[in-house]
Amino acid sequence: MSSATADASEPPLFAAVLRPHRSLSARGFAVLMVAIVACTSAIGTSFWLIGAWPVVGFCGLDVLLVQIAFRLNYRAARAAEAFHLTRDRLSVTRTAPNGVATATVFNPHWARLEVDRHPEAGVTGVRIASHGNRLDVARFLGPREREAFAVALAAALAQARAAPAICAQSRKNRVGEPARCP
């Protein structure tokens, strides 16, 4: 494995970008926060009126904690995994929530796809292994999505292995093109 990027000149056999799913949109989040503030304000006001005014501060703290929790959740959703497979290279580029990207490159002829299955839960883990190194992928997908991804990537890896490779040597055939490896 190395940390190089995929060759952009060759068309990919497989390309995918995985991102964590978030079901609540920005508008939905705003509506939820307005509802929480309204409910908390009503609760705080009722406690204020009966003389338990310190409760109002805790109600405000609840709103702040919910806001922070959702912001952290949306920040984590900025993570991504990009896969680019050609005949001679499988590149996996991970982007962390803070925007830092790391690329890992595998030779598709040596890379194995390891899939962990549970009888009730389905696919619980997917990793790419090569030469003793393992890279867990698709960790933020659900079991069904992981299954579909693993099937698609396994088929693409099989296609990459079946494609004839061009020898790195400088041998030439009669037409002047690189000779095919046996």
For the stretch 84-134, pLDDT in tens is 999 889 999 999 999 899 999 999 999 999 999 988 888 889 999 998 889
- pLDDT over threshold 60, residue 28: yes
User: Is residue 177 one of the residues assigned to a domain?
Assistant: no
Mark whether 59 and 128 lie in a shared domain: no
Q: Is residue 118 part of a domain?
A: yes
Residue 43 included in any domain: yes
What does the alpha-carbon distance between residue 154 and residue 115 come to, in Å, rounded to a whole number?
Answer: 10
9 assigned to some structural domain: no
CATH of residue 151's domain is 2.30.29
Q: Is the pLDDT of residue 5 over 50?
A: no
Domain range enclosing 102: 14-21+79-162
Count: domains in the chain:
2
Pair 45, 98 in one domain: no
Residue 150 pLDDT more than 80? Answer: yes
Supply the pLDDT for residue 1: 46
Q: Is residue 168 part of a domain?
A: no
Can you tell me whether residue 91 is helix, strand or coil? Answer: strand
Do 110 and 41 have their domain in common? Answer: no
Which pLDDT value is given to residue 60? Answer: 85
State the average pLDDT over residues 29-52.
Answer: 92
Does the residue 171 lie in any domain? no
Residue 14 pLDDT level (bands cut at 50, 70, 90): very high
In a domain, 180, yes or no: no
Does residue 32 form part of some domain?
yes
The whole-angstrom separation of Cα 182 and Cα 142 is 41
pLDDT digits (tens, 9 = 90+) for 159-182: 988 866 554 444 444 444 444 444
Model pLDDT for residues 45-96, shown as the tens digit of each residue: 999 999 988 888 888 898 999 999 999 988 888 899 999 999 889 999 999 9
Does 37 score more than 90 pLDDT?
yes
- DSSP string over 41-83: HHHHHHHHHTT-THHHHHHHHHHHHHHHHHHHHHHHTT-EEEE
